[in-house]
Structure formats: C-alpha cells, structure tokens
Structure 1
Amino acid sequence: MITRRHMIAGLGSAAVIGLAGRTMAATRHNIGAMRLTSLSDGHLVLPGEFAFDGLPQDELRAVLSRYDISPDELQPPCNVTLLRDDDRTVLFDAGAGAGFMPSAGALSDSLDAVGVAPEEITHVVFTHCHPDHLWGVLDEFDDVMFPDATYMMGTIEWDYWRDPATVDAIDPARAAFAVGAARRLDAIEERIHLFRDGEEILPGVAAVASYGHTPGHMSFELRSGTESMLIGGDAIGNHHVAFARPGWPHGADQDTALGAQTRSRLLDRLVQDQITLLGFHLPGGGLGRVERDGSAYRFVTEDM
C-alpha cells in the first residue's frame, strides 16, 4: 500500500519526519522465544497538579524528594513494547503520534532505529485509548500507520470510547481524548479484534483486567515456562508515589478509587509471583522488578 507517508519518505533527506537528532535507546529482554524491546516514544510534560491534586502535600513532598521529582512538573517517559518471535511482530500500544504533544510521538524513529518498518507490524495490542497510547495509529496525514496489522483491544475499552455519549459524560478536561479516540477507532474498525479478561490473545500473551485508569484498561502477562512479565500500561503510572503510596488516588486515573485498588493488587502479585514489570511511564525503559519496602513497594530497574 502506497500512502502519502511513503511518498514523502521517498523524497530523501530533504524531508525529515519525526524528532530530529533524538537518540532512541532500546531496552531488551527475552521471555522464552519472545524477544522484547522497549522503545521510546519520547516523554510527556504534565503539571504536577494533574497527578497530585488533593494529596497531603507535606507527605507528598517527602516521597517525591527521595526521587528528586518536582511536585510542580512531571516528565514521564513513554515506553512502547515491541515483541518479536518467529511469526509475529507485535506492538503494545501505538504511541502518541504527531498530534498530541511536541515531546512525544517518536515511535516511528525508534522503530527505524531497530530496523522495523511499519509494514512489518503484524499486531497492535492496546492497553487503553488515552492519546499517548492510541493516537499514533494515524500518521501526520491521517493514514493508518501500521497498514498490515491486526488491532486488538479489550471489549469494555472499545465500547466505552466508541459510545457517542462518552464525550459528554467524561470529565470536560478529557473531552478531547474522547473525540480523538473515536476518530482513530473509526479508522481501524475493520481490522479490530476484541477480547476479554483472561483470554490468551496471542500465544503466550494473556489479557489481565486492570480497570480504573480507564474503564477497560488491560495489562498483559507474557509467559514461557517459569518466565513471566507483565506489560502494565498505565495501571502503575509512575515509579515514585504509585509504589510508595499505592492506595493514594492518582489524578490521571478516571476512576481513582478503582485505580488504587488495581494498583495495590498488581503490585502485591508482582512481588508474590516474582513477575518482571514493563510499565509505560516507568524509568529505565520501563523494565524492572517490584520489591517490598516496609508496608509499601519500590521499583528496581533492570541493569541491562
């Protein structure tokens, strides 16, 4: 399929698309025959109040100071997971694309850096439909970015963002999320495969309900023999407060109470079962393990 994106790319170095000059570091890990690469889609720039509004400020500052995090501004990384084996080339989430935030949308460059063309992607599996996870399915010309892929999403998430009533029912600050999601889901409707909690959606990949951040947010457990990994999306949304105070509400969650319950449940399971975590907004490419820290937890990045 020849698209406008291909035509521009064919013009050569005079037309440079993406975030020029950025180095795209890749973090790698294997689960049996599944070769996993965490790719950078850049980072977000968010006001601290977006995540921390309403929290006990003195205790919050004490937690953040341990990690040298400002309470005024957050710059979380965006980690898109690439899975390759003999038969599949799978993306977990599609990044932000060109239309969301200038500091994000670098996935195309990161894929190029590891030698993967958009046409080679066989599946795109979504954790949820927020802009930094979904909007990259369309390129800057509104062509489908991964033209030969099957798109996979949990049924609850799909139904929520496809519902015309969502744009009016959602928090007004997120209304643009709903409009943008609906347009992109329309574009992939003919190639969507829906699934439910607990299903093995691909060989060795099972859906794990992690509702709260969005109504139908899904994580994914990858397993081969005794090895396992959880691709956590935004269910555990940062490496500081989410681990030190998992029961606190997080402003990025649409249902803050359910999000806190889900976060605590996942953290406990990751420790108990010694499952590696790859989180979308966690440092070090998002790859690490969870350890107990008294009555709380801490995230320990892998030494790759």
Structure 2
Amino acid sequence: MAITRRTMIMGTAALAGTLPFRLHASTTVGNYTVDTLSDGNLILPAGFILGEHVNDAADILARYDLGTEQLTPDCNVTLLRDGENTVLIDVGSGMNFQPSAGRLVDSLDTLGVAPEDVTHVLFTHAHPDHLWGVLDDFDEPVFYNARHMIGRAERDYWLDPETVNTIGEERMAFAAGALRYLNAVEMDVFEDGDDVLSGLQAVGTPGHTPGHMAFAVNGSDPLVIVGDSIGNHHVAFEQPQWELGSDQDGELGAATRTALLDRLNADKAMLIGFHFPFPGIGHAEKSGDGYRFIPA
C-alpha cells in the first residue's frame, strides 16, 4: 500500500488507540444490516441543551442520575449495509470540535470497514458533531469514495453568507464550520420524502436546524434514524412540548418532536437517536402526557 498523507494519519490513529471504542451490531431492517457506532461523547452545559427549562427539568434529570450543570451525551453514528451500499448517517465531529469525540474511524475499524469502503454519506444536519468528521487533519475527505448528500434546505441555510450574522453568538462557530466543511466536498441534495436509496427515505424534521432530516428504513419492523430531532432520552421524551435550547427554532422543534414521537409510537417503529445512551436504539412508549425511551 502506498504511503500517503491519508494512510499516515489513519495509521497514527490506530497506533494511538488508548481509548475504548464501543460497537453494537443492532439489527436487520429490510435489506439493511444496521449498526450503531460510537463517535465518543460531547460535554455540554445542561443549559445549552435544555434552555430555560434547565431548572424545571431537575426532577426528570435526577431520575436518570443526571444533574443540571453539565451533560455528556453519547454520539451514535448509524451504518447501513445491504451488500452493495455501505452508508453512513452523519460522520461525527472529527478531531476539531471536542476531545471526547471524533472516534468514528476507529469504531468502523472494529467492524472491518475502512473509510474507502463507504459508498454514501447522508447528513441529518450540519452541526459540528454530525458534519466535521468529513475531513481529516489534512483537510482531505475521509470517505473519499463516497457520494455525500444533504437536504437542500439544510445546505442552503448554512451556505447563506448571512447565516453567520444571524445565528447568534453561541452558534457562530457552527455557522463558520458548516460553511467550510460543506464547501470542502461535493455535496448532492435531496428533498423531504425522497427515496435517497432503495428502502431509505428522507423525512423532514425541521426545528433543531432549519432543514434537519431523519431517515426511515423500510421493513416489516420499520426503523427511523431521528438524528437530533429528538435530542435526548429524558426531557425530550417526558416533556416533548417544551422548547429546548439545543433547537435553533424551539417552537418548531417542539412541534416536530411531538409529532414524530406520536408517529413512532403509533407505528411501533424502532428508532435510533444520535445522542441517546449508546447504542441509541429502542422504542418510544407512551407514558402519561409524554413518552419514555425503551432501549432495545
């Protein structure tokens, strides 16, 4: 194998493997084998995630052994394989966001999947922990054989030069990063309702970001990869109508989350949440006026 900048950095990462990586081969849905892969976790102020409800949520968080100061949500990347296509839903944050994340390539390696094996990369949205892993430390595409795809509305929002001026100070770095990373690879677009691949449909779930997409995997037991449209396994389930700080449009995010949970419950569909406890797969079950997450 020729030694390139890419193979050098991959080799360095493998030798450095001092942190544990967790892998979960979850299930088969339709024609797809579905695996969830850990990209590590984030470390965030609880107020950033829960907004004005951070104190209201104290009792809920306590039931999950969580506090109101800091939360450390897992980051679960979904891998779909049907024998022909090897598809990643999001790519994690790479090495430039938080040191506790950026582990996707190592997790893929535990499955025997190399970056060049990936045929498609689909993005739920363009926040750092979902997009920034698209480039390596030399600003070259990690998944260099893959077709990269994102919802049209999401792409257009982040490529608008005014977004960085209107998004608010705490998310300005998100906007600058999205502009950089989206321009670094050729990016095809799709619309709400499109069959992105056979048996895989895009589902518009705006609010967390303006063009956020979930993905429905068709099968006798359907699966919805919800991304951040349901952003956690506690408050978002028990109080889906609350406007949360992690959503750029809190009101729309709450409406989308409530409707999606209603649908998941009615359809008895499995779901994968990007920030649910690893491996992030389970069901939504009605509980009082809200829901609870039932791990698979």
TM-score by length of 1: 0.93
8 A Cα contact 1:130 1:181, kept in partner: yes
2:222 to 215, 218, 228: 228
| Superposed displacement of residue 8, structure 1 | 4.0
Match of 2:22 in 1: 24
Distance 1:274 1:5, change over 3 A: same
Matched, 1:241 2:235: yes
2:104 to 107, 114, 117: 107
Distance 1:17 1:232 in 2: 34
Q: How many residues align?
A: 295
1:216 and 2:214 aligned: no
133-142 vs 18-27, greater mean Cα deviation:
18-27
Task: Find the aligned partners of 1:257 and 1:18 in 2 and give their Cα distance.
Answer: 44
Counterpart residue number, 1:152 = 149
Query: Any residues of structure 2 matched to 1:1-304 within 5 Å, and which?
Result: 3-9=4-10, 16=14, 20-55=18-53, 57=55, 59-189=56-186, 192-224=187-219, 226-302=220-296
Q: Deviations over 1:188-220 (max 9, x none)?
A: 13xx22111011110000110000000000000
| Residue 17 of structure 1: how far off its partner (Å) | 6.2
- The alpha-carbon deviation at position 277 of structure 1 amounts to 0.4
How far 1:16 sits from its partner (Å)? 4.6
Q: Which runs of 5+ in 1 are unaligned?
A: none
Q: Counterpart of 2:265 in structure 1: which amino acid?
A: V
Structure 2 segments unaligned to the other structure (5+ residues): none
CA pair 9-254 structure 1, distance change in 2 beyond 3 A: closer
In the TM superposition, what whole-angstrom CA distance separates every residue of 1:119-174 from its partner, at most 9, and x where no partner exists?
A: 00000000000000000000111111000000111000000111111111111111
> Is the partner of 1:249 in helix, strand or coil?
coil
Amino acid at match of 1:232: V
Aligned Cα root-mean-square deviation (Å): 1.6
User: What amino acid sits opposite 2:210 in the alignment?
Assistant: P
Distance 1:121 1:23 in 2: 20
| Aligned CA distance change for structure 1 residues 19 and 244 (closer, same or farther; 3 Å) | farther
User: CA 1:207–1:17 in structure 2 vs 1: closer, same or farther (change >3 Å)?
Assistant: farther
In the alignment, the residues of structure 1 paired with residue 75 and residue 4 of structure 2 have an alpha-carbon distance, to the nearest angstrom, of 27
Question: How far does the alpha carbon of each residue in 1:46-71 deviate from its partner, in whole angstroms, 9 at most, with x for none?
Answer: 011112231272x4111111111111
2:52 alignment partner, SS class: coil
| Secondary structure, counterpart of 1:175 in structure 2 | helix
How far the C-alpha of 1:27 sits from its partner, in A, is 3.9
Alpha-carbon separation, structure 2, partners of 1:180 and 1:36: 29
- What CA distance in whole angstroms lies between the structure 2 residues aligned with 1:179 and 1:2? 32
| Counterpart-to-counterpart distance in 2, 1:117 and 1:9 | 10
TM-score computed with the length of structure 2 as normaliser: 0.96
% identity of equivalent residues: 50
SS of structure 1 residue aligned to 2:185: helix
SS in 2 for 1:285: coil
Post-superposition shift, 1:24?
2.2
Q: 1:289 Cα shift? A: 0.4
